[in-house]
């Protein structure tokens, strides 16, 4: 489709479920302007928690636990239905009939991601990867797009990460191009920080060209905090609301120092992380072995680990070469008051604010990004930034399923 056709305003839904596996986020947006320089207005947003039995199965499968190809195939179709339900819900909330959608961009649920060939990944992270037989870079997101397209009656773009990996990239992160499109500033250097299960940055120097943008994962976002809460509440709770629990504890300094020596934090970007690095094994190895430690102290230490690893990564790998004025925070971790307070304290020279201020509510931002990326795909525009993912070239992302 010629690019100039994209000028008229169009409706799109973005669907996202990240490494937290808390549930499906759906954002209904109106896009206007060209696909190359879109303007985005959020019309409605819903977040649909996974039923706990499904979350447990996904955690097991994504955590390298026992499964079968039959189970993965079944989950793929089951999630397709849940993702389609989320589209219906968000359209109802926005007062829009779902068949009017120009496109749905569905990230799906990652159940495996290895951005680099295994020997490199293993050497660099300093940790064994769960499946020693896997040697090449690969990625797998599920939530069958054919099910979504059939149930909704609109075209679906999915499997965003594969084309970047095929082009030699890490397949992640993909949101940086959207950050560039929506948050760049002519005079002020900007860092967009998303605190999901994993925390990651997009660095956008003042007046940057796309190839000057870079980004990487800084380490755990909520993943370690959530893991501790789940363990100690025997699965009854899944996160530390507002960081209140951690706020009652003290940092265990020797433990924090030991973890910050972990090779991942020292390594230069580009780098990406997931449940493979900071999931169950990590929580068990560093936190659960400390007999007698109080839960609130462990949580306080996990929260400090997130804040410190973010601030250290900025100091080490960003502020030395780029002048940064503001840090725009999004993701579920933006609700953790203790975490945001610590970021402000550790980065006193930056103006720290939430993405809501830019029309991108913290919970909706990543889902919005996949609506924008899908719009690019159907207009034949690339969606990755080689400077971020390490791909040999920019490529059009995703597969298109027509209803």
Of the pair 20, 106, the CB lying nearest Mg ion is at 20
Structural contact between residues 401 and 155, judged by C-beta atoms closer than 8 angstroms: yes
In the window 364-393, what residues touch ligand ADP (CB under 6 A)? 366
Residue 366 engages Mg ion in binding (rule: CB under 5 A): no
Of the pair 50, 317, the CB lying nearest ligand ADP is at 50
Q: Which structure tokens are listed for 111?
A: 């159940």
Q: State the minimum distance, in angstroms, from the CB of residue 355 to ligand ADP.
A: 11
In the window 18-47, what residues touch Mg ion (CB under 5 A)? 18, 20, 22
| Binds ligand ADP by CB under 6 A, chosen from 18, 105, 269, 398 | 18
Residue 241 engages ligand ADP in binding (rule: CB under 6 A): yes
Q: State the minimum distance, in angstroms, from the CB of residue 366 to ligand ADP.
A: 6
* Dihedral (CA of 16, 22, 24, 28) sign: negative
Name the one range near ligand ADP by CB under 6 A: 13-21, 163-171, 207-215, 281-289. 13-21
| Binds ligand ADP by CB under 6 A, chosen from 164, 226, 304, 375 | 226
> At residue 89, what are phi and psi to the nearest 5 degrees?
-65, -45
Structural contact between residues 400 and 387, judged by C-beta atoms closer than 8 angstroms: no
Name the one range near Mg ion by CB under 5 A: 16-24, 32-40, 229-237, 276-284. 16-24
| Binds ligand ADP by CB under 6 A, chosen from 60, 93, 248, 335 | 335
Q: Which structure tokens are listed for 184?
A: 């760049």
Taking the C-alpha atoms of residue 126 and residue 167, their distance in angstroms, rounded to an integer, is: 26
Residue closest to 32 by CA, chosen among 102, 100, 105? 102
| Bridging pattern class, strands 399-401 and 156-158 | antiparallel
DSSP E strands in 33-68: the ranges are: 39-49
| Binds ligand ADP by CB under 6 A, chosen from 14, 227, 332, 361 | 332
| Binds ligand ADP by CB under 6 A, chosen from 105, 333, 386, 390 | 333
What number of chain residues touch ligand ADP (CB under 6 A)? 20
Q: From the CB of residue 116, how many other CB atoms can be counted at a distance below 10 Å? A: 21
| Binds ligand ADP by CB under 6 A, chosen from 269, 331, 382, 386 | 331
Contacts 24+ apart (CB under 8 A), 256-261: 256/301, 256/304, 256/305, 256/308, 258/286, 259/286, 259/305, 260/305, 260/308, 260/309, 260/312
Residue 14 engages ligand ADP in binding (rule: CB under 6 A): no
| Binds ligand ADP by CB under 6 A, chosen from 45, 239, 262, 264 | 239
The residue assigned the tokens 């550790």 is: 346
Site string for ligand ADP, 278-317 (x = CB under 6 A): ----------------------------------------
Of the pair 20, 218, the CB lying nearest Mg ion is at 20
Residue 196 engages ligand ADP in binding (rule: CB under 6 A): yes
The residue assigned the tokens 């849940």 is: 82
Taking the C-alpha atoms of residue 134 and residue 206, their distance in angstroms, rounded to an integer, is: 40
Taking the C-alpha atoms of residue 239 and residue 223, their distance in angstroms, rounded to an integer, is: 9
CA 197 to chain centre: 7
Q: Which structure tokens are listed for 48?
A: 């649909």
The residue assigned the tokens 């109080």 is: 294
Q: Which residues bind ligand ADP (CB under 6 A)?
A: 17-20, 22, 196-197, 222, 226, 239-243, 331-333, 335-336, 366
Chain contacts with Mg ion (rule: CB under 5 A): 18, 20, 22
């Amino acid at each position: 489709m010629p690019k100039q056709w994209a000028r008229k305003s169009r409706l799109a839904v973005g669907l996202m479920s990240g490494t937290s596996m808390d549930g499906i986020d759906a954002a209904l947006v109106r896009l206007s302007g060209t696909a190359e320089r879109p303007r985005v207005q959020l019309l409605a947003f819903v977040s649909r928690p996974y039923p706990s039995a499904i979350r447990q199965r996904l955690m097991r499968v994504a955590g390298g636990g026992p499964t079968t190809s039959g189970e993965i195939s079944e989950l793929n179709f089951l999630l397709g239905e849940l993702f389609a339900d989320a589209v219906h819900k968000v359209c109802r909330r926005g007062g829009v009939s779902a068949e009017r959608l120009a496109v749905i961009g569905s990230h799906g649920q990652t159940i495996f991601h290895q951005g680099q060939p295994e020997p490199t990944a293993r050497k660099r992270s300093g940790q064994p990867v769960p499946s020693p037989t896997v040697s090449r870079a690969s990625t797998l997101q599920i939530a069958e797009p054919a099910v979504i397209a059939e149930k909704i009656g609109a075209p679906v773009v999915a499997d965003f990460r594969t084309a970047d990996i095929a082009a030699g990239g890490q397949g992640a992160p993909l949101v940086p191009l959207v950050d560039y499109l929506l948050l760049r500033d002519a005079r002020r250097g900007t860092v967009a920080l998303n605190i999901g299960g994993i925390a990651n940055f997009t660095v956008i120097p003042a007046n940057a060209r796309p190839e000057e943008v870079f980004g990487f994962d800084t380490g755990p976002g909520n993943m370690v905090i959530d893991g501790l809460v789940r363990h100690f509440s025997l699965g009854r709770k899944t996160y530390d609301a507002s960081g209140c629990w951690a706020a009652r504890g003290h940092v265990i300094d020797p433990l924090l120092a030991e973890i910050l020596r972990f090779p991942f934090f020292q390594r230069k970007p580009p780098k990406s992380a997931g449940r493979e690095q900071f999931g169950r094994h990590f929580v068990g190895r560093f936190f659960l072995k400390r007999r007698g430690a109080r839960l609130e102290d462990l949580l306080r230490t996990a929260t400090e680990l997130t804040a410190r690893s973010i601030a250290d990564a900025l100091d080490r790998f960003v502020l030395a070469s780029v002048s940064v004025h503001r840090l725009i925070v999004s993701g579920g971790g933006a609700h953790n008051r203790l975490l945001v307070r610590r970021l402000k304290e550790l980065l006193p020279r930056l103006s720290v604010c939430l993405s809501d201020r830019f029309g991108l509510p913290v919970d909706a931002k990543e889902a919005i990004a996949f609506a924008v990326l899908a719009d690019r795909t159907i207009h034949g525009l690339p969606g990755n930034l080689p400077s971020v993912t390490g791909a040999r070239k920019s490529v059009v992302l995703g597969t298109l399923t027509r209803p």
